[in-house]
Amino acid sequence: MTITGPTTTTGTFEDVVRRRLSRRDLFRVGVVVGGGAVVAGAAGPALARPGHGGGPGGGPGGGPAAHAFDLTTWTAAQPTAPAPFDAPVIAPEFTHDVVIRWGDPLRPGRAPFDVTALTAAEQAERFGFNADYTAWFPRRRGDTGPRAGTEGLLWVNHEYTDPVMMLPGYVEGSPTREQVDIELAAHGGSLVRVRQERDGSWRYEPHRDNVRITATTPMQLTGPAAGHPLLRTSADPTGTRVLGMLNNCGGGVTPWGTLLTCEENVDQYFANRSTVTDARQQASLTRFGVPEGASERRWEAHHPRFDLAQEPNEVNRFGWVVEIDPYDPRATPRKRTALGRFKHEAAAGTTTADGRYAVYSGDDSRFEHVFKFVTRDRVSPSARRNRDLLDAGTLYAARFDDDGSGVWLPLVHGQGPLTPENGWADQAEVLLYAREAASALGATPMDRPEDIEPNPVTGSVYVALTNNSRRTETDAANPRPGNATGHVLEIVEAGSDAGATTFAWGILLLAGDATDGAVYGGFTPDQVSELACPDNLAVDSLGQLWIATDGAPSAFRGRPTAMNDAVLGLPVVGSGRGRTQQIFGAVYGAEMTGVFFNTTETTMFASVQHPGEGGTLAEPTSNWPDGGTSVPRSAVVAIRRR
């Protein structure tokens, strides 16, 4: 469930289209807009050779001179209809390996996966459900040696569970304690050792050092909101310790080699909003989408912490960015409250001109906001000294102005409307109610901001806006009413500095049917791979943008262009700017997500999430990846050259 925030009222659709067409022309040729920032089309600012910057998503590594995924060297895969096709479709120059699947054992000596024998204890030692964001780490921090691209640690988020697809005998509305505990154990994330064999194929290694983090793993709350009364519960009167993380969707990798993983749709796990008496808390929970009565999952029947009637503050301990050190599995994961509480889609970042770190994050709900966090202190060459870097800094929300300029609005207690006189007691409340604070400042309500990805080659930042069928009144940054197919924005920070407080922006593409209003850089329908509902983004060392989609089958339902979700690439500079090419198409019922490259960028990892969605264990609509009559299993694939 998504609760709408404020809407906008700027102009008619025809007026907006005329303004946006004018802006697209400006973006194509590159002019000064929005107070001085240069937005480039044919040539981007700081255009660099392959290998420039920190690799995809700000992570470790660069790319080889002859890039395996150079868009000019391969042929786009043809999209496939949603049914009955139940196999991935891949560009002819590439192949793929299934690296790891739900239920695969992480330790040596475990029995093969058997869905009928799964227990909570077993699930806690096996790969979790519904793979999402992936991140690659060399086996040793900072390693760039000859094996850095063939042996690594692969992190994978496990966003959510679908009990009718995983638990035999499950009765909706009446789960057993063991079934709920299996679901808790299937959430969180996995860190697994992976390697490339001599034949080029990829596999994971069952190993004692593989790590599972679940919805019951002890974690620490840090930063300005830690210890606040609104974070205290009967189990944790200090407000600093919490069990687990939930609905981990996107993420990011820091320059000091840690993982950032994001809690998104946490509303679905909690029950009984109607029992909360505090007016602000009640309004926030309503905006989050927490149910008034029982939750659909009914976890509260067996774990009182999910019942707001018994623990009204437990919900406030979810919806944060979590930092995890993949090189120290004994370290306690930390929920960094300085980055604000909302439905975080991702946390990709880049360094500022003066050496601080900026983290971008979308709040994935209709009419919510785009955020950026900038640390107070600079990044240190020592990983240890960066341990608490994300606990101090400034959180901003974006205002997209109609003239193509924009402003980052600081969410700082005591500034603007965020004062005690207006009901804001302290900075902790500003961060706990980041959505409401952003709205009070005048941030732009957006069409479901999902992944946000800086481009280390061009200096631009890309924002995926997946869709918003409820939009009736448009504005310049959200120009389509009933936006069923989404769009991608491009931001250029003033001075190409991620620490800037102003920016220029434009629309990179309008997704959808290229014969019916979609815009792909001016290319004709036969020259592009159409897409709908852009969700996750990645950038390679050539500066090429990669898009994973979630929702194409429903967005294109009933049209000749009906297709499965997919991974597509496109150039963002030069004559090919905006021309999309599909490299991988998902199986029936699945979304694509989690695009990330290995250190040498010879392999692209991606997650195939919820294959066969809509079916059940008894009547599956997909048998991928094992085939036959097997149950569908979400998995991570490795895409590589033949």
CATH class of 13-264+319-434+446-641: mainly beta
Q: Tokens for 575? A: 């004559």
At residue 516, the pLDDT reads 87
At residue 142, the pLDDT reads 86
Q: Please work out, in degrees rounded to the nearest 5, the angle formed at the alpha carbon of residue 525 by the alpha carbons of 522 and 530.
A: 95
Query: Distance between CA atoms of 528 and 206, rounded to whole angstroms?
Result: 41
* Regions of the chain where pLDDT drops below 70: 1-65, 81-85, 561
At residue 80, the pLDDT reads 72
Alpha helices in 331-479 (DSSP H): 427-432, 434-441
At residue 210, the pLDDT reads 98
Cα→Cα distances 312→229, 270, 271, 295, 500, Å: 11, 10, 10, 14, 38
pTM: 0.92
Query: Distance between CA atoms of 546 and 540, rounded to whole angstroms?
Result: 8
CA end-to-end span of the chain = 42
Closest CA to 573 of 525, 539, 549: 539
Whether the Cβ atoms of residue 170 and residue 163 lie closer than 8 Å to each other: yes
**398 dihedral zone (left: phi>0; alpha: psi -120 to 50; beta):** beta
User: How many helical (H) and strand (E) elements, i.e. helices and strands, does the chain have?
Assistant: 7, 33
Closest CA to 432 of 335, 323, 501: 335
At residue 637, the pLDDT reads 99
To which residue do tokens 């302290």 refer? 426
At residue 78, the pLDDT reads 83
At residue 329, the pLDDT reads 85
Cα→Cα distances 2→285, 431, 455, Å: 11, 20, 30
At residue 50, the pLDDT reads 27
Cα→Cα distances 105→113, 123, 426, 607, Å: 7, 9, 46, 18
At residue 423, the pLDDT reads 97
Peptide bond into 625 cis (omega under 30): yes
